[in-house]
Structures are given as C-alpha cells and as structure tokens.
Amino acid sequence: MLADPLTNKGTAFTAAERDALGLHGLLPPHVGTLDSQIARRRRVLDGMADDFHRYAFLRELQDSNEVLFHALVQADLPRLLPLVYTPTVGEGCERFSEIWRRPRGLFLSYPNRTRIADILADPALDRVKVIVVSDGERILGLGDQGAGGMGIPIGKLALYTACAGIHPAEVLPILLDVGTDNAARRDDPLYVGWRNPRIRGAEYDAFVEDFVAAVHARFPGVLLQWEDFAGKNAYDLLERYRGRLLSFNDDIQGTAATATGTLLAAIRRTGQPLTDQRIVLFGAGAAGSGIAEMLVRALIAAGLDEAAARQRIWAVDRDGLVLSDIPRLPPQQAALARDPTELAGWTMAPGRIGLLETVVNVRPTVLIGASGQMGAFGEPVIRAMAAGCERPVIFPLSNPISRAEAHPADLLAWTGGRALVGTGSPFGVAGVTQVNNVYIFPGVGLGALAAGATAVTDGMFMAAAETLGSLGDAGDGSLLPPITALRAVALRIAVAVAAQAVRDGVATMPADALAAERIAAQMWLPVYD
C-alpha cells in the first residue's frame, strides 16, 4: 500500500486503516489530512531555489502518492502547471537521466522490438484508456532528447488527469526509444536510453507498425496521442494510423485548434471578421502547417471558398516565403505555397524573401510564430506590422521560453500597447494570453472517450477551437479563460467534441448519453477513498 502511488496515502492513513493494514511503525504517529499534506508540500516548494528542482520534487511526489500529487496541482494550477509542464518540462527532458528514480510508463526500445506485445500484456495496464507516446526526436523547440523525451508524455498525462479528470490508473506514457542523434545525450554516462544513432527508414516504420498493432490488440478503444515527433514522421504517422485507431497528433492538431480558438477570441476583441484577416505564419513545420490548415477550414466555415481562404495566409519558413517554385517542398508546405507572380508589385531587395519583407508587403493583421527561433519577431518586423494595423494580433508560440519568437513585453512596447499577444509559455506579463494546448487536448480526449468515438475527426478539433474561442476571457485583458478554469473548459470542449463525433458518424454512444452532467460524472477527483 505504501509503495504503490495509486494506493499510498502517507500520513493520511487513518488509525483504523493502520490497524487493518499493519502500518503502525511504518508511519509517524501523526494522522494527517489531504489538506495538511498539501500545505507541507507547498512549504517545501517555497523553500526550493529554482523551478527545475521543484519539477524534480513534483515528479518524485507523483511516483509516491498520486492522489496527493494531483490534489496539490489542482489546488494551485496557475503556479503548478508551469512546473509540471511547459516551460519547466523542457529542462526536465534535458536532464531526465539525471533525475530518473523509478519506473513510470513504458520504454519500448528498438532492441526489444520483438517483446512489445509481452510488455503491454502486464495486468497492471488493464485499465489504460489514454496513451501519450513520443520518440523524443522533436522535444518542444529543443530537438532530439532521446529517452529524455519521456518527460513529455508524463507531463501531458498529468494534465489529462488535472483538467479532464482521467484517472491516473487509466493513463500510460510511452517512449519509443529508437536511439538518438544527440551525441551529448549518447555520450552522457548517466543517459538511461539506448546508446545508438536513430533508427530510420523502413526499420523505423516497421517498429512503429509493430507498436501500433500491439496497442490495437491489447487496448481496443484506447485513445493514443502522438507527441513531439519530428515533422515528416509526425505527418506520416498521423495519416497512416488515424483511421486504424482512435488517435491524434497534439503538435499538429492540438496546437492548431488552440491557436485558432485564441485567434477567434482575438478578432471578437478587434471587431474585424476572420475573412478580413491577413495572416503571416512564421514556421511551416508540423505545428505551423497544422495551424495553417485549421485556419483554412475556419475561413471556409466563415464563408470563403478554399482558394480564397488560402489567399489569406502567407507562410514563411527557414528558406523565406514559401513559394511554389521552391523544389521538393513537403506536401504540407506545398499546400501553402504562393505563386511567385503574386510578388510582382512587392517592394523588396533581390534574393530571399524573409519575414520582414513579407510583413512590409502583406501588412498582416495576424502574425503567428511556430519556428523555435528565439527573437525572430524583432523590433523592425513588429513596428512594420503595427504601422499597417490598428490592433495587431501577435502569437509567438514556440516553447520553451528560450525558443520564443519574442518577449511579450517587447511586443507591447513596440506596438504602443495596441497588440493582442498570445504566447506558448507563461511569461507573467499582464494582459498576455498563454496559448497553451492544455486548453484543447484534455477536452478533446475526454469528449472522444465519452462518445466512444472510433476516430478523432477534423470536425471534432474545429468544434473544440470554436468552443474555446467562444468562452469568456480571464478579465485581465487576456483572451482566454483563466488557468483556474481549465477543468470547466475541458468539460465544455468535451461536450462539443462528443456532439461533433455524433454528427460525424464516429460515435458509438447515443447523443442523449453525452450531456454535460453525464460527462462530468466520469471525471475523477483527487480525494482519498
């Protein structure tokens, strides 16, 4: 009982429970309460020198007492969310091997590729409903972290529990350890992963296929979330498997829905319809391309045809403005490419058409960053945008803070306080919205599970985005509800997603079973039994 984090209560075991379970002597004589345990842990957190050590402390608490961990997180989400996930989880992944203590989730390594089904057969996993899986190759904006990428599935699933009420026994983090091309990780004597360059090509595809087949056989109806895979793999895996099992990619679809929902909230503030926006997207990888495609769908829903919708978006990547004459464009970028003849009247120097040139000529109303390039939204870019727009909407979304395209305080200063700003990480700047996927993915997962969905459709993500955009703001100038309301937000989104699953024909539960009170009754609360 004391060794299992799902049953351990620590000092909160009552005298009667200590009698029945033989716990006298193993615990101090004080009989505590959940509230007193929360107070004790808060004092410990207050006394720590930095957020990384707070992160490590919380990870150890989760591994020793799940109820207390989740009760502590839910008691102070604004403070604890940045410690459990972004931005602190970035350093947690970089230093994962340094703080690894005890098993949580599964490391499925390439050398064990013939044992996947046997590993998943463990009876302790019988209750699993949600899996978050990564191969650690594109962790936030930090790149390849190998086995250290396990910090991402662990953190995401903590948020599924905190926000969507998924029971901790029903979640499973998985790291597909196919090696790492990060030499610093491989050469680190503390590194806990497989010390090998990354497996790629046919061998990689076969390994993932074996994993998916084993998951499908072991966990019928499980929700699988792909997380932090590199761009091409992210798109390929999503398209290959979204029809075979209930799955989605949060970097592509969750980020897109969160950004779209926040933009819908922003244009309500400006009073300018979506169809009048001129959108420049900086960074056309998995996240950026996903945002663009959802914005296209939103523009179509607002009344434009597809060609006109695509004309409202300009994508800029590492090689500059994405143009149709650039050779070997990946499919997701080819769909965003502009015809070079459109640039005939542009003012620009010869050569590469960068972000500044694009902003000067397009005069965008919306600027979204998903590039991982710190400082890319420099003062000349922002002042050029502000010169052509009364209320510029600027979202530097890259995580962690060290990869953000701009500091929000600078954006406000350079626009004379006129900008509506949303960031991927929390900066603590008044009136700035954190455009965090936690507003979307827990509700999408909860709604899909409640509906017994057989697939997660694009329509379900659009329903989530529209719901988020319709919710009230925090009352402090930001665009979205406060972090303290995340559980209520997840429920509202779950209801909308479940209803959309019925409309899309992928729900196995009847519509009358998907009312808000029915879904809310499925949400677990961290209290001792």
Q: What is the 3-state secondary structure (H, E, C) of 54-84?
A: HHHHHHHHHHHCHHHHHHHHHHCHHHHHHHH
In angstroms, what CA-CA distances link 97 with 100, 188, 400, 415, 425?
A: 5, 9, 19, 43, 24
pLDDT of 188 > 90? The answer is yes
Q: Please say whether the beta carbons of 94 and 120 come within 8 A.
A: no
Q: Report pLDDT digits (tens) over 511-523.
A: 999 999 999 999 9
> DSSP 3-state helix, strand, coil percentages of the chain (rounded to 5)?
50, 10, 40
Q: Report pLDDT digits (tens) over 41-91.
A: 999 999 999 999 999 999 999 999 999 999 999 999 999 999 999 899 999
Range of the domain at 476: 439-520
Catalytic residue among 55, 85, 235, 241: 85
Q: Is 528 a catalytic residue?
A: no
**Do 265 and 207 fall into the same domain?**
no
Nearest to 453 by CA among 497, 489, 492: 497
Q: Please say whether the beta carbons of 247 and 224 come within 8 A.
A: yes
Please tell me the distance from the alpha carbon of residue 73 to that of residue 434, in angstroms, as a whole number.
18
Q: Please say whether the beta carbons of 421 and 406 come within 8 A.
A: no
- Report which DSSP code applies to 338: B
Residue 328: inside a domain: yes
pLDDT of 442 > 90? The answer is yes
Q: Report pLDDT digits (tens) over 399-433.
A: 889 999 999 999 999 999 999 999 998 998 999 99
Q: Is 156 a catalytic residue?
A: yes
**Residue for token pair 């996930």:** 85
**Do 82 and 230 fall into the same domain?**
yes
| pLDDT tier at 231, thresholds 50, 70, 90 | confident
Q: Please say whether the beta carbons of 156 and 85 come within 8 A.
A: yes
| pLDDT tier at 349, thresholds 50, 70, 90 | confident
Residue 88: inside a domain: yes
Q: Report pLDDT digits (tens) over 118-177.
A: 999 999 999 999 999 999 999 998 999 999 999 999 999 999 999 999 999 999 999 999
**Do 288 and 313 fall into the same domain?**
yes
Determine the residue type at 495: V
Residue 46: inside a domain: no
Query: What pLDDT score does 404 carry?
Result: 95
Query: What pLDDT score does 347 carry?
Result: 86
**Do 372 and 470 fall into the same domain?**
no
Q: Is 378 helix (H, G, I), strand (E, B) or coil?
A: coil
**Do 371 and 483 fall into the same domain?**
no
| pLDDT tier at 473, thresholds 50, 70, 90 | confident
pLDDT of 340 > 90? The answer is yes
Residue 186: inside a domain: yes
**Do 309 and 388 fall into the same domain?**
yes
H or E stretch including 489? helix 486-503
Last residue of a domain, one of 376, 404, 435: 435
**Do 369 and 443 fall into the same domain?**
no
- Report which DSSP code applies to 252: I
Last residue of a domain, one of 388, 411, 435: 435
Predicted TM-score of the model (pTM): 0.94
Catalytic residue among 9, 55, 129, 156: 156
Residue 526: inside a domain: no
167: domain CATH number is: 3.40.50.10380
> Mean pLDDT across the chain, nearest whole number?
96
- 426: preceding bond cis by omega (within 30 degrees): no
Q: What residues does 281 pair with on adjacent strands?
A: 315, 368
Residue 528: inside a domain: no
Query: What pLDDT score does 472 carry?
Result: 81
pLDDT of 376 > 80? The answer is yes
**Do 230 and 117 fall into the same domain?**
yes
Query: What pLDDT score does 348 carry?
Result: 83
pLDDT of 319 > 90? The answer is no
**Do 222 and 322 fall into the same domain?**
no
Residue 123: inside a domain: yes
| pLDDT tier at 352, thresholds 50, 70, 90 | confident
- 3-state secondary structure string across 425-458: CCCCCCCCEECCHHHCHHHHHHHHHHCCCCCCCH
Last residue of a domain, one of 245, 269, 291: 245
**Do 210 and 264 fall into the same domain?**
no
H helices, E strands: number in the chain: 23, 12
**Do 287 and 326 fall into the same domain?**
yes
Please tell me the distance from the alpha carbon of residue 302 to that of residue 48, in angstroms, as a whole number.
50
Q: What residues does 433 pair with on adjacent strands?
A: 422
Please tell me the total count of domains within the chain.
3
313: domain CATH number is: 3.40.50.720
Classify residue 477 as exposed, middle or buried by CB count within 10 Å of its CB (0-12, 13-18, 19+).
middle
**Do 348 and 289 fall into the same domain?**
yes
pLDDT of 277 > 90? The answer is yes
